[in-house]
Amino acid sequence: MSEAEAAAVWNPPPSIEALYAATAGNKFSGINRPTAGSREEKEVAKGTAPIQYYSLATPNGNKVSICLEELGVDYDAHFINIGNGEQFSSGFVKINPNSKIPCLVDNDGPDGQPISIFESASICLYLCEKHNKFIFSDTRLKTEMMNWIFFQMSTQGPMTGNFGHFFVYAPDDKLETRDYGVARYGMEVQRICDVLDKHLEGRSYLVGETYSLADIMNFPWFHQLRVGYPHKSGIKAAEFLDVSKYINLNRWADVISARPEVQRGITVCSWTSPENTKPWLKKD
């Protein structure tokens, strides 16, 4: 291999630290660190409702917000600005050591004692089990529901998020990196949409012809693909990935989008109204 050829091939430096400087300028470089734990002593806001909910209207937040609205439970929603690093305050880290939204405290937890819950699936399962709604008692149906919940958490959410990162947020000058990331994750997102689309052929919902937590969990990331991730050039993810071709998936998403509880849920803790975490309650 010539020197010029060798220079054109990626070789890892001795350790990752050498690469951190190269991420400077990345929208997220200000908040990314390789260590966990709190970065400032600060309590989180607290209200009076039994459930204190800390979130943002991202697809991961939307899953829990929709669940809370569907269950009709009493909760206070608190806007967490992850761009400002509010997820690293000591109060937040006490609730979620992983410093990510969504998370919540149920002051009426098991045995009447408060319980902190993080990870959207863990929160939604806890809430649905507590209220015995949107889940199944039949083992076959429950297992099928769990299949789609784990699929959502391990595959649909992270892959769609990675696609969105490379498509919209990654640094503009990293041309080849962006091409690679968008192609890899974009193709995987299309495959994931096809998995859901094929499963929904001839079915109304993901499990047992009943609207369940499986649907609540899988809806927000597909909704994000339908309406979100606009690249500044003007092209949107929906057009770029040709999302309209997933006929069954779109039909399913149309039905879910029409639910008033879902319409409220996706607006909870919105960037556009941080002061009104439940915008439909806003008084003029």
Binding interface with ligand GSH (CB under 6 A): 31, 58, 60, 82, 87, 99-102, 119-120, 153
Between 122 and 244, name the residue whose CB sits nearer to ligand GSH. Answer: 122
Rounded CA gap, 210 and 250, in Å? 17
CB of 120 to ligand GSH, least distance (A): 4
Closer residue to ligand GSH (CB): 121 or 250: 121
- Report H helices in the chain: 3-7, 17-20, 59-71, 90-95, 120-131, 139-151, 157-164, 175-199, 213-227, 237-240, 247-257, 260-265
Smallest gap, in angstroms, from Cβ of residue 3 to ligand GSH? 40
Question: What does the chain come to in residues?
Answer: 284
Share of the chain residues as helix, strand and coil, in percent rounded to the nearest 5: 55, 10, 40
Exposed e or buried b per residue across 26-35, where buried means at least 16 C-beta atoms within 10 angstroms of its C-beta: eeeeeeeeee
**From the CB of 36, what's the least distance to ligand GSH, in Å?**
11
**Residue 131 and residue 127: Cα distance in Å, rounded?**
6
Which CB, 123 or 135, lies closer to ligand GSH? 123
Residue 43 DSSP code: P
Nearer to ligand GSH, 93 or 193 (CB): 93
Residue closer to ligand GSH, measured from CB, 60 or 218:
60
Q: What is the DSSP letter of 77?
A: E
Adjacent-strand bridge partners of 96: none
Instruction: State in angstroms the smallest separation of the CB of 204 from ligand GSH.
Output: 25
Pick the closer one to ligand GSH by CB: 101 or 206: 101
CB of 64 to ligand GSH, least distance (A): 8
- According to DSSP, the residues that pair with 52 across neighbouring strands are 76, 105
**Shortest reach from residue 109's CB to ligand GSH, in Å:** 19
- Minimum CB distance to ligand GSH, residue 147 (Å): 17
DSSP per position, 173-208: T-HHHHHHHHHHHHHHHHHHHHHHHHHTTT-SSSBT
Nearer residue to ligand GSH within complex by CB, 60 or 250: 60
- 230: three-class secondary structure by DSSP: strand
